[in-house]
Amino acid sequence: MNGAQIQVKFWGVRGSIACSGEATRRYGGNTSCLEVTCGGRRVILDGGTGLRYLGTTLIGQVQDCDLLLSHTHYDHIAGIPFFAPFFDPRNRFRLWAGHLAPESSLRETMERFMHAPLFPVPPAIFRATMEYRDFPVGERLRLAPRLEVVTGKLNHPNRATGYRLEYGGKAVAYITDTEHKPGQPDAEVLRLIDRADIAVYDAMFDDATLGPKTGFGHSTWQEALRLAELAKVKTLAIFHHDPESDDARLDAIAAEAARMRPGTIVAKEGMVLIP
């Protein structure tokens, strides 16, 4: 890979709960996890069940990388206890969260998550060097000399953070678990996705059926298209699929979305995007 390139790989594209079976085979059933590589540096976005599969590809390799969490609802952290590189003492990981303070911290949240009677072993079982970093949402993070991350507040129960990764003159935005107000484009989301080369957006629901799900904290694929058009996004990836949406349903969304805004894609596990 060219050192100036940024690459995105999808390891989990589903929302709320993992779902397996023939009906979800082509798009995938693992929950949120993306791998972004910037030259030789790796950044992971969310730790859903897809994280375990990413981890199996990294066994035996020495890692020094960052895991940015949009928030700590179960579907976005369920893969963390099963991520093999956390058990290699040669590795170093920085886990980031912007939604917990001042009520809690990421370290405290992970200790509660991996605690009896819900889990058999605590985070202390990890052998890698683990750094838990809380930050105020809105802060700009510098992960490396040429890699900066813009953060922003999303509209989700218990709060969530959106990210914009900037590297080598390219920008990748990750906006998941946010609820829009019909007819009112979210200014914070527009800021994060402005002219992004790739924007990954929570499109769990549909405009026609959103009403009864108001307050769930999710958006629609149609709103994704509207925001992408306003922000002049180059490639929009529809993401965080409803577990009730089978492959046939996602095929239909993909066809309609591509018709409405050519170049739009519906994210699949294993898909790689290079702007």
121-133 average pLDDT score: 98
Average pLDDT of the chain is 96
Residue 165 has pLDDT above 90, yes or no: yes
For residue 39, the model assigns a pLDDT of: 84
| pLDDT tens-digit series, residues 1-51 | 445 589 999 999 999 999 999 999 999 999 999 999 998 899 999 999 999
244-258 average pLDDT score: 98
Alpha carbon distances (Å) from 16 to 49, 73, 75, 198? 11, 9, 5, 23
Look up the CATH number of domain 6-273.
3.60.15.10
For residue 40, the model assigns a pLDDT of: 85
Residue 267 has pLDDT above 80, yes or no: yes
The residue extents of the domains of the chain are 6-273
Alpha carbon distances (Å) from 228 to 61, 238, 251? 37, 11, 20
CA-CA distance, 126 to 84, in Å (whole number)?
9
Residue 206 has pLDDT above 60, yes or no: yes
For residue 4, the model assigns a pLDDT of: 57
CA-CA distance, 238 to 229, in Å (whole number)?
14
For residue 50, the model assigns a pLDDT of: 98
